[in-house]
Amino acid sequence: MFSNDSQIGDFVKSAPKPKNEKERLAALKRLEILDTLPEQSYDDITKIASYVCQAPIALVSLIDGDRQWFKSRVGLDATETPRDIAFCAHAILEEELFYVPDSSKDERFADNPLVTGHPNVAFYAGAPLETAEGHRLGTLCVIDNKPRVFTDEQKDILTMLSRQVTQLLEYRVINENLKRETKIAKTMTRFFENSQDLMCVAGTDGFFKEVSPSFTEVLGYAVSELLGRPFLDFVHKDDIALTIKEVGKLAQGHRTVNFQNRYQTKDGRWLILSWTSSPSADGSTIYAIARDSTVEIQKQNELLKSYEEIKATRAELVRPKEEAIEASNAKSRFLANMSHELRTPMNAILGYSDLLIEEIDSSQPAVIEDVKKIKSAGDHLMRLINEILDLSKVEAGKMGVSRDTFKVAEVIGQVEGLVRSLIGKNQNKLAFDISKAPAAFNTDQEKYKQILINLISNSAKFTKSGNICVRVFEDNAAGVALMVTEISDSGIGIPTDKLESIFSEFSQVDESTTRLYGGTGLGLSICRKFADILGGKLSVKSELGKGSTFTLRLPSLAAKKSKSSSSQAPSKKGSKRAA
């Protein structure tokens, strides 16, 4: 030993760190023991060690990052010393007891300030405190201020005592865990006891194992009743199959969310319970929470019911409209078919009436008159049939519109020829003014003619010894080329309140009108409908006793035609390009 007093510090041999230092320190921290108050059980062990080893100092030393801290100490005032001069820092490197019989003769410690100064460590023996995980957290050590010989017995005892200390340390962990678990358990129990939801543990064998007190509160059964019977006993018979299926799923490890079944209360009511359940890993146990959702579901059902009712009401409201439309369509179809069937026999009646009138000997004037009456009635019936056919076609949307460009003067001429005989009947005068009419116009020629004939017939019927004037002129005021046809008469006129209803089917001003003036009651209705499908407007102005003016405004259909053909052109081009 060649020590140099002035350089003591340089010769202190600090112990290297153990290989698992990081984990070791973490394990030590987990104990939460550093800087805690002394504890009897540790102090007892250090005292025993001190007695048995007959050493004045005994310590439970724990090696922290840069210090050793004493959980228990006998014969020493210091609570800790630096790690780099600690004997114990060496001891924790050893599996077995570490022991220095005479530190002044050991080069690792001869210059150690704990050796050279207070507390003058001459003898040291430390047994490592090795946990089950293999961390040596510190030592149980004994120290004397004079060199010693340590007996084997003493070594054994110190080692055994060190295991007791380790045990104490490990119990500490177990204890902490237990405390934590107990706390959780208490909370859980409180939760279980106070929950308003129904909490239970059940077996897939069909029995409840534990039920929360809320079961008793909600269902009314004592806990013993609930545990003593299979839970299916409480379930509504219609829900049993579903419940069994659900339990089967749980037994296979699947969770259940919002499964609903009905449970009977002790007083016989049925409650709808909504279950959220999880199985244990082995599928033998079910942890389940149920909520009484009877009220909620009743509300839902009521909502659903009122929604269904609203839907049904709506359907009921809509149905008559649909039925009415269907009925109207059916009527139109029926009329269209019937009119056609009626016309064939009418052709025979009219045809043979005509033939008879031509062929009967003129010496039988009475017979000719009779046949003429048949013919006249037949004509009326035929007109009625034709008008019904037209109306039903319009109503069924089957009345086509043709676009004819015609000379206005020519068509007016044709109309004049057709109505001439009518005009004569009531000694009326008919005048045409087409001086401001367009030379040619495009619309459905036949329908235009029919509107004119109907309107002129109508005027002729309600005018006696008066004037009927037909005026045709152009009107571009609205920015569209309209052809306006006005039919004015000096007839009986129409009351203001009937001005619109005269366009309704089978509506004349009143019933007596029909008797007095005849007519089908369909003529004006057809005029209005034709005007509509030609894109035009038919209106009337009238003054009672002075006469009426019907005004027909028609747009040219030529523009529409060119529009539709121009809209076709690009698609043709497109297909060409594609080809």
Residues forming contacts to other proteins in the complex (CB under 8 A) are 340, 343-344, 346-348, 350-352, 354-355, 382, 386, 399-402, 404, 444, 446-447
Return the structure tokens found at 195. 């929950």
Nearer to other proteins, 147 or 351 (CB): 351
Residue type, 306: S
- The token duo for 176 is 């902490």
Closer of 403 and 537 to other proteins (Cβ): 403
Q: Which of 209, 228, 219 is nearest to 288 (CA)?
A: 209
State in angstroms the smallest separation of the CB of 358 from other proteins.
Answer: 8
At which residue do the structure tokens 């009107």 appear? 475
* Minimum distance from residue 372 beta carbon to other proteins (Å): 16
List the helix and strand counts (H, then E) for the chain: 16, 18
- Cβ 339 to other proteins shortest distance, Å: 11
CB of 548 to other proteins, least distance (A): 28
Q: Which is nearer to other proteins, 187 or 405 (CB)?
A: 405
In 3D, which of 140, 111, 104 has the Cα closest to residue 125?
140
The shares of helix, strand and coil residues in the chain, as percent rounded to the nearest 5, are 50, 20, 25
CA–CA separation, 336 and 120 (whole Å) = 133
Report, in Å, the least distance between residue 446 CB and other proteins: 6
Distance of closest approach, residue 351 Cβ to other proteins, in angstroms:
4
What minimum distance in Å lies between the beta carbon of 347 and other proteins?
Answer: 5
User: For residues 177 and 347, which CB has a smaller minimum distance to other proteins in the complex?
Assistant: 347
Beta carbon nearer to other proteins, 353 or 458: 353
CA 166 to centroid of chain Cα atoms? 62
Tell the residue number behind the tokens 């419940």, with chain if given: 243
Which of 21, 404 has the CB closer to other proteins?
Answer: 404
CB of 562 to other proteins, least distance (A): 18
Closer CB to other proteins, 122 or 342, in the complex: 342
Measured from the CB atom, the residue of 340 and 373 that comes closer to other proteins is 340
Q: Taking the complex as a whole, how short is the minimal distance between the CB of residue 570 and other proteins, in angstroms?
A: 26
Q: What is the CA radius of gyration of the chain?
A: 59
Q: How far is the CB of 506 from other proteins (least distance, A)?
A: 22
Q: Tell me the residue ranges of DSSP E strands in 265-383.
A: 270-279, 285-292
Q: Which helix (H) or strand (E) holds 562?
A: helix 558-578
Residue appearing with tokens 């035609």? 561
By beta-carbon proximity to other proteins, the closer residue of 345 and 574 is 345
Nearer to other proteins, 270 or 352 (CB): 352
Q: Based on CB atoms, which residue is closest to other proteins, 333 or 343? A: 343
Is 129 or 389 the residue whose CB approaches other proteins more closely?
389
Output DSSP code: residue 96.
S
The neighbouring-strand residues paired with 92 are none
Q: How many CA atoms lie within 13 A of 7 on its CB side?
A: 5
User: Quick one: DSSP state of residue 333?
Assistant: H
What phi and psi values does residue 465 have, to the nearest 5 degrees?
A: 50, 45
Beta carbon of residue 547, minimum distance to other proteins (angstroms, whole number):
32
- Within 10 Å of residue 488's Cβ, how many Cβ atoms? 19
Q: What is the DSSP string of 489-516?
A: E-SS---GGGTTGGGSTT--SSHHHHHH
Three-state SS string over 354-392 comes to: HHHHHHCCCCCHHHHHHHHHHHHHHHHHHHHHHHHHHHH
Single-letter amino acid code for the residue at 501: S
Q: 267's torsion region: left (phi>0), alpha (psi -120 to 50) or beta?
A: alpha
- Tell me how far, at minimum, the Cβ of 338 lies from other proteins, in Å: 14
Quote the CA–CA distance of 301 and 20 in Å, as a whole number. 67
